[in-house]
Amino acid sequence: MEILNGNEKILVIQTAFLGDSILTLPLIQKLKDTFPESVIDVLTIPQSKQIFESSPYVNDLILYDKRRDRSLKALFRVVKEIRNRKYTRLYSPHRSFRSSLIALMSGIRFRSGFDKAVMSFVYNYQAQYAEAVHEVQRNLRLAGFDNRDDSWKIFPEFSIEEKVFVKIKSYLPSSERKVICIAPGSVWFTKRYPRFDEVIKMLIEEDYFVILIGGGEDVPLCERLSEGYGESDLISLAGKLTVVESVALLMNCHALISNDSAPVHMAMATDTPVVDVYCSTIPDFGFYPYTRFSSVVSYDGLECKPCGIHGHKSCPIKTFDCGHLLDPELIINETERLLIQKQKSI
């Protein structure tokens, strides 16, 4: 890779899902660590705005609402703003046609992208997109960082104001009960574990306090899972917390149980034990947690699994065995094992 000299003005393109945005933070942190005098801006979607606003390593954002406005006019507006800012370097973890097109029209002299990106020829530095490694490790290759040891395990950092922690503490029980957060939702149906009701029942029977978290789209699911429980045992904060507030909550709970989705990556910014529940997807896709106290639970041995990297709106073979056959006791056992492991480390 070309060696940087002097100050650089860097643009990072990440317009994918929330979880992908969180997993882009280590790349940004590595760039800032390597080139401390550089300015780093991010092109992103409104849904991920707060993630990058809360990074102490990001200077500014360019917002591109590609889902609401897919017109050429909107695309050219973004390109014009990029060109006006006169960036010297561009890094694109996003492999889409649109991201590559923006890179091509950006006027930026150095462009780093993946060899498997659509129109990869627009990048004058192409990093290998290896499917067998973690997403963070893949992204770091864009910056020429390809260590084979564990030094790639950089944790996302968020800058959180004290008033956020004050708000979060108002939701926590006044007793000494252990608090378990559960994130039962996902954009994809086949990534949603269907037996969280049993997990919740077991946790409350063991005297844990349960908090359900998720976005606005997860409110109906969390309301259904809350039925029959009083607020002395369970509350739902789905749709009530920002991303940064969710991270602050995870810092103040004892463990997180989540589907293979964004909350797992939020927990990477904390030292909170996390159990990552896999239904139709697998850890080999590179989105597993790698904190000290993390674990994955999955029902394996099915010929149909995995059925896709993102999952589906419904089970392709109508059985959803990867979810229904996963015993909730395994999830409880892993959670308690991690809690004991962390307690012993104190």
User: How far is it, in rounded angstroms, from Cα 88 to Cα 107?
Assistant: 9
Extract the runs of DSSP E, i.e. beta strands, from the chain. 9-13, 39-44, 60-63, 89-91, 110-114, 125-127, 179-183, 209-212, 234-236, 255-259, 274-278, 294-298
164-345: CATH class: alpha beta
pLDDT (tens place) for every residue of the chain, 346 residues total: 444 455 899 999 999 889 999 999 999 999 999 899 999 999 999 999 999 999 999 999 999 998 888 788 999 999 999 999 999 999 999 999 999 999 999 999 999 999 999 999 999 999 999 888 999 999 999 999 977 788 999 999 999 999 999 999 999 998 889 999 999 999 999 999 999 999 999 999 999 999 999 999 999 999 999 999 999 999 999 999 999 999 999 999 999 999 999 999 999 999 899 999 999 999 999 999 999 999 999 999 999 999 988 889 999 999 999 999 999 999 999 999 999 999 999 7
Give me the helices (H) in 5-56, please: 18-22, 25-34, 49-53
Homologous superfamily of 9-152 = Glycogen Phosphorylase B; (3.40.50.2000)
Q: Where in the chain is the domain with CATH 3.40.50.2000?
A: 9-152, 164-345
Q: Are 243 and 236 in contact (CB under 8 A)?
A: no
